[in-house]
Amino acid sequence: MNSKLLMTTSVMLLSASAILPVHAEDAIHHWPVAVHEEPLMSKWMLDRLEHRDGSHGDSTYWEAQAWIGGDINKLWLKTEGSRANGETDDAELEAYYSRAVAAFWDAQFGARHDFSTADMPSRNWLGVGFKGLAPYMFEVDATAYVGNNGRTALRFKGEYDLLLTQRWVFMPELELNAYGKADAERHLGSGLADASLTLRVRYEIRRELAPYLGVMWTQKYGGTADIARDAGAPASEALYIAGIRAWW
């Protein structure tokens, strides 16, 4: 009896093992095709809203960015500028299509508009550049520009966040601007026009909101420095900074 039961059980197991893979394969073929969607996200950043005080006067400066898109493709908007003596003396707006080309790196292509002010005309540029994290976690934003009448420009920004504690953060920043030809109407000479080194220390009330203090050194070069001196402005200056940073 036991031998017959054992034989019957063995036959049933063999039959099941022969049938199950067929059913499993059929089931796989009827599974729905996976849909790979890139979720739509956005971020808004008020990187700098600060008061700058120097020996030759004070001003208010802003720098903000926003993006919308997914992990691979984004639309970026950037703006920065300053006001002094109740007037806007510099303002610009940039719009870019951004695409991830490597881990932590985006290639960007778009346009920049320099707004006209009381004594400077507007300018339009096409821009192409890269934005991302360099080795050792340095944030880099480098852009080359081409404008009308053969104008060219290059801008480089690099900054770093060094955690002193869980709330105190040290933020060094370097910026360089260069132009291919002089533009006297906008007070610019050819070559390296200016450089600035800024040291800020922020306190994060929470990650999205942080006031900060800092000091900034600016230096104009070449024809840009000559134009500034002729207008009675300094070619170099040290500025003390108080501001706030926020994102959402």
- Residue 1's pLDDT is what? 46
Could you write out the three-class secondary structure of the chain?
A: CHHHHHHHHHHHHHHHHHHHHHHHHHHHHCCCCCCCCCCCEEEEEEEEEEEEEECCEEEEEEEEEEEEECCCEEEEEEEEEEEECCEEEEEEEEEEEEEEEECCEEEEEEEEEECCCCCCCCEEEEEEEEEEEEHHHEEEEEEEEEEHHHCEEEEEEEECCEECCCCEEEEEEEEEEEECCCEHHHCECCEEEEEEEEEEEEECCECCEEEEEEEEEEEECHHHHHHHHHCCCCCEEEEEEEEEEEEC
Indicate whether 64 belongs to any domain.
Answer: yes
The verdict on 51 and 174 lying in the same domain is yes
The verdict on 121 and 161 lying in the same domain is yes
Say if residues 144 and 159 touch (Cβ distance below 8 Å). no
- Residue 137's pLDDT is what? 86
- Residue 11's pLDDT is what? 47
The verdict on 26 and 54 lying in the same domain is no
Say if residues 199 and 214 touch (Cβ distance below 8 Å). yes
Indicate whether 56 belongs to any domain.
Answer: yes
The verdict on 26 and 63 lying in the same domain is no
State pTM to two decimals. Answer: 0.82
Walk along the chain (248 residues) and give the pLDDT tens digit of each residue: 455 544 555 545 445 454 445 455 555 556 665 555 668 999 999 999 999 999 888 999 999 999 999 999 999 999 999 999 889 989 999 999 999 999 999 999 999 999 998 889 999 999 999 999 998 889 999 999 999 999 999 999 999 999 999 999 999 999 999 999 999 999 999 999 999 999 999 999 999 999 999 999 999 999 999 999 998 889 999 999 999 999 99
Indicate whether 111 belongs to any domain.
Answer: yes
The verdict on 24 and 77 lying in the same domain is no
Could you tell me the residue range of the domain that residue 82 belongs to? Answer: 42-247
The verdict on 130 and 9 lying in the same domain is no
The verdict on 185 and 160 lying in the same domain is yes
CA 159, CA 63: separation in Å to the nearest integer?
14
- Residue 164's pLDDT is what? 97
Indicate whether 37 belongs to any domain.
Answer: no
Q: Which CATH number covers residue 63? A: 2.40.160.40
The verdict on 14 and 126 lying in the same domain is no
Indicate whether 216 belongs to any domain.
Answer: yes
The verdict on 62 and 179 lying in the same domain is yes
The structural domain count of the chain equals: 2
Indicate whether 192 belongs to any domain.
Answer: yes
